[in-house]
Amino acid sequence: MVAPTRVGLITTKDVLSDRPIPGNGSPSGGVLPDMRWVRVAALMAVTAMVLAACSAGARQSRPSASLAAGGPAPLIDLDRIVAGGPPPDGIPPIDHPKFLPGQAVRFLAPQEPVLAVEVRGLARAYPLRIMMWHEIVNDVVGAVPITVTYCPLCNTGVAFRRPVIGGRLLDFGTSGKLYDSNLLMYDRQTRSYWSQALGQAVVGKLTGTRLDLFPALIVSWADWRADHPDGLVLSTDTGFDRDYGDNPYVGYVHHDVPFLFDGHVDPRLPATEYVLGLAAGGETEAFPFSELRREAVDGTAVAGDRVGDTPIVVFWAPGTVSALDAPEIPDSEDVGAAVAFRPILDGRTLSFSAGPTGITDEQTGSRWNIEGLAVDGPLAGRRLQPAVALDSFWFDWAAFHPDTRIFRSE
């Protein structure tokens, strides 16, 4: 495999081929030519060979002693850092993202998953069909510098405020390394490693520094568009030539043994069970999508609990497909979407239930959508505060939170 040519830290050659990436790549918009199955099969073959080679040589990828020397002790075992294949920024982050008004988007199917982030009342959607090829977007929303991330091997989406350290605003790249199969980011200013799943620097000068997280929801394009008619959507005009809409991880969601994961798979749930994980007050809880589906009444589900001392309510609804199933994302299995909220409005704790008309609160009878917006009734137009939660595959949530509780339907 030919190493990509780099200008600074930005890759200018496709890591899987010798073809230069045009400065203004022509995006596919998810439309595939007649040879789409041949290209998808070829891509999966290359991916499998790369992953196999990386797995065999993972222990040779230990970071240089200089990365940890002279700084705080690493928070993770350096011997368990695994090379994911590409070099730093070989999976190219998007550093100058472009956006489209929601009503102008034609490349998304209604059921496709998007990573939804809201900062200072400004809503943005980052389609997973784009995020899975780049994993990191360095952005500014409402004058707030943020980074939005997605790790396809774990199905984890995390958004955070970019820190200012020593007067320098950090921006983030893909290190080419994994820990417990999860994305290890690095900042380009100090080259410290940051765990996406932990939201914390784990190796290097900034070890121990925690990120200020924003709620990041994985919901369907149709649900997000209905809820945010004035929101902006990440464009496929990324400057890179990628088959956005093709899934380079075909069937990954059905794997019993996750790629490049050398930890113990907690047997309480299947490895790639979709879960929504919450952590508060020293406690953690995972809400499996399969359990939420079993709780469903006429298609929607509500689960309430306390995590630590924090009351939480989780809404689940069908209509969102997996990004990691079929060769073309819109054809994938409907796994639904789960979102966690603080069930408190104006100092009053609300109780929720699912029924024939959807999700309603018992106090006013108002009807609520998957993103916590009251769409009908006395509270119409009011919105619940989303909790910081993590969409994840079970194996990865349990690896980072081995003592987690699991929500079970009654």
Q: How far apart are CA 289 and CA 292, in angstroms?
A: 5
Residue 19 confidence (pLDDT): 28
Residues 6+ apart with CB under 8 A from 6: 12, 87, 89
Q: What is the pLDDT along the chain (410 residues), one digit of tens a residue?
A: 223 222 222 222 222 222 222 222 322 223 222 333 333 343 344 344 334 333 333 333 444 445 656 679 999 999 999 998 889 999 999 999 999 999 999 999 999 999 999 999 999 999 999 999 999 999 999 999 999 999 999 999 999 999 999 999 999 999 999 999 999 999 999 999 999 999 999 999 999 999 999 999 999 999 999 999 999 999 999 999 999 999 999 999 998 889 899 999 999 999 999 999 999 999 999 999 999 999 999 999 999 999 999 999 999 999 999 999 999 999 999 999 999 999 999 999 999 999 999 999 999 999 999 999 999 999 999 999 999 999 999 999 999 999 999 999 87
Rounded CA Rg of the chain: 21
Dihedral pair phi/psi, residue 359, rounded to 5°: -95, 125
Residue 69 confidence (pLDDT): 60
Residue 359 confidence (pLDDT): 98
Strand-pair partners of 125: 116, 233
What's the one-letter identity of residue 139?
D
Instruction: Show the tokens assigned to 284.
Output: 């953690």
Helix residue spans in 35-180 (DSSP H): 36-56, 65-68, 128-134
pLDDT in tens, 186-197: 999 999 999 999
pTM of the model: 0.85
Residues 6+ apart with CB under 8 A from 26: 241
Q: How far apart are CA 70 and CA 79, in angstroms?
A: 19
Q: What distances in angstroms separate CA 35 from CA 31, 41, 229, 264, 306, one per listed residue?
A: 11, 10, 36, 39, 51
Dihedral pair phi/psi, residue 81, rounded to 5°: -75, 130
Q: What distances in angstroms separate CA 66 from CA 63, 207, 350, 369, one per listed residue?
A: 8, 14, 53, 50
Residue 85 confidence (pLDDT): 84
Query: What is the domain partition of the chain in residue ranges?
Result: 36-233, 264-406
Residue 325 confidence (pLDDT): 97
